[in-house]
Amino acid sequence: MSTSQKSGLVITAHPGDFVWRAGGAIALHTKRGYRMKIVCLSFGERGESQFAWKKAGVSLADVKAGRREEAQRAAEILGSEIEFFDCGDYPLRPTPEMLDRTVDIYRDWKPSFVLTHALEDPYNFDHPVAAHFAQEARVIAQAAGHKPDPTRAYSAPSVFLFEPHQPEQCNFKPQVILNIDEVWETKYKAFQVLAAQKHLWEYYHRVALNRGMQGGRNSGTAMTYGEAYQRLFPEALQVLA
Ligand SMILES: [Zn+2]
pTM above 0.85, yes or no: yes
Cα of 11 vs centre of ligand 1, distance in Å, is 11
Domains of the chain: 7-145+153-231 (3.40.50.10320)
- Per-position pLDDT tens, the chain of length 241: 556 899 999 999 999 999 999 999 999 999 999 999 999 999 999 998 888 888 899 999 999 999 999 999 999 999 999 999 999 999 999 999 999 999 999 999 999 999 999 999 999 999 999 999 999 999 999 999 999 998 988 999 999 999 999 999 999 999 999 999 999 999 999 999 987 778 899 999 999 999 999 999 999 999 999 999 999 999 999 999 8
Cα of 48 vs centre of ligand 1, distance in Å, is 7
Helices first, then strands: H and E counts in the chain = 6, 7
Quote the CA–CA distance of 181 and 162 in Å, as a whole number: 18
For residue 41, the number of C-alpha atoms closer than 13 Å in the C-beta half-sphere is 30
Cα of 179 vs centre of ligand 1, distance in Å, is 23
